[in-house]
Structure 1
């Protein structure tokens, strides 16, 4: 179903959400073959794939959160604060717990056996998994795997609500200063010192620094949608945004950001290279977000309704895709052939199986709601 306002449907947001889900899928199919650590790894890795991972990782998830913030604005146009929180709970909290209970133990079993840390049976590893679920904040649970995205979104909905209510009717000052060409890109400026201060804060993977980083873009997604002048500015500045995104990313690659991230990302901390790369990351991410959202607003193909089956399958597809990738990669990485043949087998097979499972989950009564599918309304 389309993202709705008051009597209007902004179909481009639905299309961008589906494109973002597919982007996350491609990102995860590449992870067995890049230079970084992951749940299942191939013996041979690729520097080119590592660059692609750095590129997608810089802005892809931030774009996902920005789209979610935009959808929050549309939901709050015709829901009360309590209705908004109830709807977020049904669409996020319920599928998170269902998926965590059903799918995280499977991913734990695959990873532990692939890395040689366990020789237990599946049910033995399941018992081990559930023996201690406590995790570090802000995820609160351990081994959430790709479901950390939903944990963030649940908390963003709660923390963002008072911010959203505060912003209502108070965007005129910002909107008036974004009327000149390229000026929407200046919204990244106040984010630079925040990210510089917090992104390198010590802590676990998906810690508070990353939490704030993505929360900022979640709020910006709401902000942009809340004023027609800001949305028009994004549409107008798609090309300058692309130039900023490409330029900042290329500058980062030329000055060694790939090697920096390989060593820094697992153990973040402050350093002089970080002082250089952190602003580049923020600028590159914001540039790409403006570009993709702006071109999404412009593209005629994205202004038409999303096929209902595709819309309904988006959340189940996101939930199911990584366990499918891990299960297939567990066997594929053991093949005695080159990396690219392995990837050529993994990508289409994982896509087909994930699509089939997502269609089944989204089409089955009751089960579909457990996996985050919106209940059909009388108007369709």
Structure 2
């Protein structure tokens, strides 16, 4: 640990902002796709699945990759105890206090209303919801998560992997990382980091909790600790970062050219042509993981090249990212619930949904969160001086 804070990586801050905006776009899209979601439009579209599948290829992996890099920077100037405290205040306090009791109940209630249930008020539902939490959830550690699973599992993975991260910060750990980096200096080698993800995805049963891609942002939950670890490794070694930057262009080309192939193969998985356990299924998962990792390399490579600058927009956005993430899905579903029955084409309704939700989230953040210290604390933000 070094007492001096590392230089701020503005490119990572910009990538977080891009990811947060992509989350808004993605969940606005979920309102129109034919898959299960709490609130759905009166007309659904198969074609919009192209956008859904495109975003899930890289969105949550990008969040975890940046989080892994952030862990390295935080541990470079904080003790393990300070790290645990800061992660708990920034991640778990918002989830446990705001998420469970304020953000998630409306989503569950709107699902009931959208399914045709009409004989229960919000207060009656909330009473049942709280009973389920305190009677059923806590004994089994089965808390409601919704879109806030990211906060919960980021905290869990960070705590479980903290001893590994702490060791890698020692002299012997840095020596190991240096030897690993020398392997991935070779041309194209950095793209092979997709292999462990591909193998894991191929052997995880997609109907199981750990392997179901529908539960956790399009990927099995056990994929994310690997990406979190990769983020730490990349941030901790200049050779790895240089290799990322060197491969940014080819990674982007490979990501763009392999994505249409993945769309065709995913359809083959969905229609049963390639079933879990077959060589065809394994091949699809390997290719999908390769495509995802190419996106990661491209984002980091181009981000470091073009986004490493600061301005007032970034300062404002960066402060409220967690609050925006926590609020977004509930706001989208509330807006969606009221416009679902409108007789209107999907595209104009999508624009209305996304734009209205974005404005509503910013207003809630600016008026009810950003200016009030106790609320800032509840959303994982530092007090305003």
| TM-score between both structures, scaled by the size of structure 1 | 0.89
- Alignment coverage as a number of residue pairs: 367
Q: Distance in 1 between matches of 2:132 and 2:271?
A: 30
Q: Counterparts in 2 of 1:236-315, with a 5 A limit? A: 236-255=246-265, 257-258=266-267, 260-261=269-270, 270-299=277-306, 301-305=307-311, 307-315=314-322
Answer yes or no: is 1:194 the counterpart of 2:195.
no
Corresponding residue for residue 40 of structure 1: 39
SS at match of 2:31: helix
Corresponding residue for residue 373 of structure 1: 381
SS at match of 1:48: coil
Corresponding residue for residue 124 of structure 1: 124
Gap change, CA 1:7 and 1:189, over 3 Å in 2: closer
Corresponding residue for residue 214 of structure 1: 224
Query: In angstroms, what is the RMSD of aligned CA positions?
Result: 2.5
* 1:21-40 CA-partner distances (Å, limit 9, x unpaired): 11111100100111211111
Q: Distance in 2 between matches of 1:52 and 1:286?
A: 18
Gap change, CA 1:192 and 1:95, over 3 Å in 2: same
Gap change, CA 1:100 and 1:259, over 3 Å in 2: farther
Answer yes or no: is 1:322 the counterpart of 2:321.
no
Gap change, CA 1:136 and 1:337, over 3 Å in 2: farther
Q: Contact conserved, 2:168 with 2:177, CA < 8 A, in 1? A: yes
For structure 1, list consecutive stretches of 5 or more residues without a partner in the other structure: none
Q: Contact conserved, 1:5 with 1:74, CA < 8 A, in 2? A: no
Q: Contact conserved, 2:6 with 2:76, CA < 8 A, in 1? A: no
Gap change, CA 1:263 and 1:75, over 3 Å in 2: farther
Gap change, CA 1:121 and 1:94, over 3 Å in 2: same
Gap change, CA 1:160 and 1:113, over 3 Å in 2: same
Corresponding residue for residue 107 of structure 2: 107
* 1:239-279 CA-partner distances (Å, limit 9, x unpaired): 12112322332211133x14635889xxx954554322211
Structure 1 runs (4+) deviating above 6 angstroms are none
| Offset at residue 321 of structure 1 (A) | 0.9
